[in-house]
Structures are given as structure tokens and as C-alpha cells.
Amino acid sequence: MTDNTQTAIQKATDYAHANRETHLNGFKELLSIPSISTDPAYKEDVQRAADWIVSDMERIGLKNCRAIPTQGHPVVYGEWLDAGEDKPTILVYAHYDVQPVDPLELWESPPFEPTIRDQRIYARGVIDDKAGVYLNLKAIESILATAGKLPFNLKAFFEGEEESGSTSMAPFIKKHKDLLKADLLILSVLIILMQILFFQK
């Protein structure tokens, strides 16, 4: 690892630490949206979660951000392709929909009112998989805010019906294969990054 790379990583990490409370509050906002994909009663909430993510992607500097309709729930897409054709393109995948919350009596706190206990965040979807969406975006934000660019091209692909069987995804991917074309696919739930961003001082 070069000195320049180490410096860039440190600057991004410092930015994440300096904005910890802002990032945590944003995560709570996303967690508060009941994006339950298995229940048609929550269709508007799933759409609202998609729109929230699109807005955040635009704010941090991603381009071509939009919620793309499918036969089911929308796919959220955004990109940053300014690294150049000689650089690899990374496709980041996660899903923003969540499971139902029953039985409610087993919850110590309301599932869509994020609560911190013993340095842990409790809410439906906090790990599976809104962390995969939000923490990837915060890592990207931290790099763009400090370096002004990414060392690679990026495409973000966030699904809205993983918890209900992803029935629309095969036809969506087939239809949009050029849009989603990449050199590397990353699927991650960044628990360690969550600890660093939100709780380490």
C-alpha cells in the first residue's frame, strides 16, 4: 500500500468519524421506513424507501440515480463512472426491503423505531440488509467527500424484493444487462464498518 493510498484511507476514515452522528441519524431515517416487501399493504413504503435511497445517492455525488420500476418493487440504481475506461467497474449489490415484524410482542422496542442499547442498533432490517445499502453509500461518500473521486468506476444496484423471493430480478437483469455490466460484484453486510462509523471514538 502506497503512502498516498494510506493518506486517502485515513482522510476518508476521519470524515466518517467526524460525521458519525449525521450518518447515524440518516441510518435511523432509513430504518424507520417499513419497507416490508412481502405485504402489499406496504407497497408505498417500499417505494418511499427506494426514493429515500435515490435522494441520498444524489446528495453524495452519484449520477444517473433512479428507482427503476419492475413487475414487483423498484430497483434503485446509481453510478459513478468517471474513473476512466482503463479502470475496473465494481457493481455493489444489497437489498433495502425487510421481513415482516410479527410477533410484535417479542420486540423490546418498536421494530421501526431504531433504538440503541449497549452500542447496538435495534430495528427491523438493521443488518439484513439496510446496512448493506447504507454503509456502502457512507463509505463511498467518505471517499468522494475527501478525495473528490473514486479509484474505480462504481455501479450501485439495490433490490426491493429480496425478502419476497426476487421474482422480478431475473427478467430485470436480463433486460438491463448492459446497465449492470461490471468487472466485479460485491455483496456485503459491513458490520465492522458499522462499528467503526457509529461507535468507535
- Domain coordinates of the chain in residue numbers? 3-198
Strand 75-80 to 153-159 pairing: antiparallel
pLDDT > 90? residue 195: no
pLDDT > 70? residue 192: no
Residues 77-94 have a mean pLDDT of 96
Strand 89-95 to 184-187 pairing: parallel
Residues 55-70 have a mean pLDDT of 98
The pTM is what?
0.92
pLDDT > 90? residue 187: no
Q: What is the pLDDT of residue 172?
A: 96
Q: What is the pLDDT of residue 7?
A: 86
pLDDT > 90? residue 40: yes
Residue 134 · residue 30 · CB < 8 Å: yes
Q: What is the pLDDT of residue 1?
A: 64
116-152 as b/e, with b when 16 or more CB fall inside 10 Å? Answer: eeeeebbbbbbebbbbbbbbbbbbbbbbbbbeeebeb
**3-198: CATH number:** 3.40.630.10
